[in-house]
Structure 1
Amino acid sequence: MGDGDFTGQLGEIRSKLELLRRLAAENGSGVVIEDPATLEPVPELPAGVTEVFGMFRRIEGSYFRFVQPAEVSGPAAWAAREINPEDPMGNPLVIGYEIHSVPSFAADDIVGGDPIRMDAEDGGVYYLEPDDYVMLYENPDEDVEIEDFAGDIVTFFNEFVLGDKYPFLVETVLGSGARNDRDRNGEYTDTWMRLLVRAGLAA
Structure 2
Amino acid sequence: MGDIGAQHIGDALQHNTALTTLNLSGNEIQDTGAQHIGDALQHNTALTTLNLTANQIRDTGAQHIGDALQHNTTLTTLNLSENQIGDIGAQHIGNGLRHNTTLTTLNLCENQIGDIGAQHIGDALQHNATLTTLNLSKNQIGDKAAEYIGDGVRNNTALTTLELSYNRIGHIGAQHIGNGLRQNTVNTNSILNL
Query: Where on the TM-score scale, by shorter chain, does this alignment land: which range?
Result: under 0.3
Which structure is higher in RCO with an 8 Å CA cutoff and minimum separation 6? 1
* Bigger CA radius of gyration: 1
Structure 1 length normalisation: TM-score?
Answer: 0.25
